[in-house]
Structure 1
Amino acid sequence: MAMSKSLSIIFNKAPYGTQSGRELLDIALMAAAFDMEICALFIDDGIYQLLRDQQPDILHMKNHSATFKALELYGIETVLVSSEDLRLRHLSTEQLMPVAEQAEPNKIQQVIAQSDFVFML
């Protein structure tokens, strides 16, 4: 039996202005259906994807942030947010949805290096 492949999905853009966050989330959930080991990594402005209490309806956009709470339901257990990028943006984990674990950049790089596939939009 073949070993399952691993996929790292890197969220590195703010949640609004592009569709990349929504599209990467869709990719993660679809890949989970194929029994791949999936890691969701939030770096750079991608950490804003996880902010609590977003109100994109003000911008006439759909709110996809609540869907991040489904990652665990889909078996996506490795969800990391860059502690350095949180510090640089003066954010704390209390301001984020409780779906990600803080990780130093070297840990995130290690996860990426060990992945069979990496997606970033």
Structure 2
Amino acid sequence: MQQGGELLMRANSVPMNMGLNYASLPQRKTGWAMPYAPLLEASLTIKLDGAGFTAPPTEEAIEGPFGTYRRTVKQLGPGQIKMTTRSTLVTGTYEAARYPEIVDYTRKIKAAEDQVIRAK
């Protein structure tokens, strides 16, 4: 997408927020189970012809009792970056009192994935 002469792209070309579906309620009165959570990993290389990145995505390391989310960003050359994202979720059964923790965890990942990559 273009806006004001800049190219814009969201940093979550491959969404990895696995816990988001477990954290969509306004509140929780009963416990919940996360029975299955595979390791997700994706690498994406973005190459721009005739443009350079003015705001690449930041590297992220989000860790918590429910899993981990990591994104590395490497500059491969002019107008070329490689993003590698890895996400895990800890399976198990959780009490309702822990619901705010997973909501907080997934919000941090959402903020990382909502970043905008800018190029000109």
Q: Which structure's residues are more often strand, by fraction?
A: 2
Point out the structure with max Rg over C-alpha. Answer: 2
> What is the TM-score when the length of structure 2 is the normalising length?
0.28
Higher relative contact order (CA 8 A, sep 6+): 2
Q: Which structure's residues are more often helix, by fraction?
A: 1
